[in-house]
């Protein structure tokens, strides 16, 4: 079987272990979340986490730990053309 050309990207994600409080039971719990990109500090990470996790019954309290992971993603060119969004052409400086 012939090798199929692929479109690949290495993407960095941040896997965080987050301490939350259940406001109904008043009990703490830990939630693992995968965030796109990397973050310079805990404050930046909390800005991203709060809209994702905070609700009427849950509050994010603290990032207990995190690790940055690099993962290679890929798909065939056919899949890429089928699923990708067409963007305007970049201005070239020749």
Q: Would the pLDDT of 94 be above 70?
A: no
How far is it, in rounded angstroms, from Cα 20 to Cα 29? 5
Beta bridge partners of 34: 15
**Each residue of 4-38: pLDDT tens digit?**
899 999 999 999 999 999 999 999 999 999 999 99
Give Cβ neighbours of residue 10 (< 8 Å, ≥ 6 apart).
70, 71, 72, 73
How far is it, in rounded angstroms, from Cα 76 to Cα 7? 6
In the chain, where the domains are located: 7-78
pTM of this prediction?
0.74
pLDDT bin (cut points 50, 70, 90) of residue 92 is: low
Beta bridge partners of 60: 20
């Amino acid at each position: 079987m012939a090798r199929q050309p692929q479109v690949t990207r290495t993407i960095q994600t941040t896997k965080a272990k987050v301490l939350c409080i259940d406001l109904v039971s008043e009990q703490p719990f830990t939630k693992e979340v995968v965030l796109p990109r990397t973050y310079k500090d805990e404050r930046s990470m909390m800005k991203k986490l709060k809209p994702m996790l905070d609700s009427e019954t849950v509050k994010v309290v603290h990032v207990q730990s995190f690790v940055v992971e690099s993962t290679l993603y890929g798909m065939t060119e056919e899949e890429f053309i089928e699923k990708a969004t067409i963007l305007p052409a970049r201005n070239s400086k020749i």
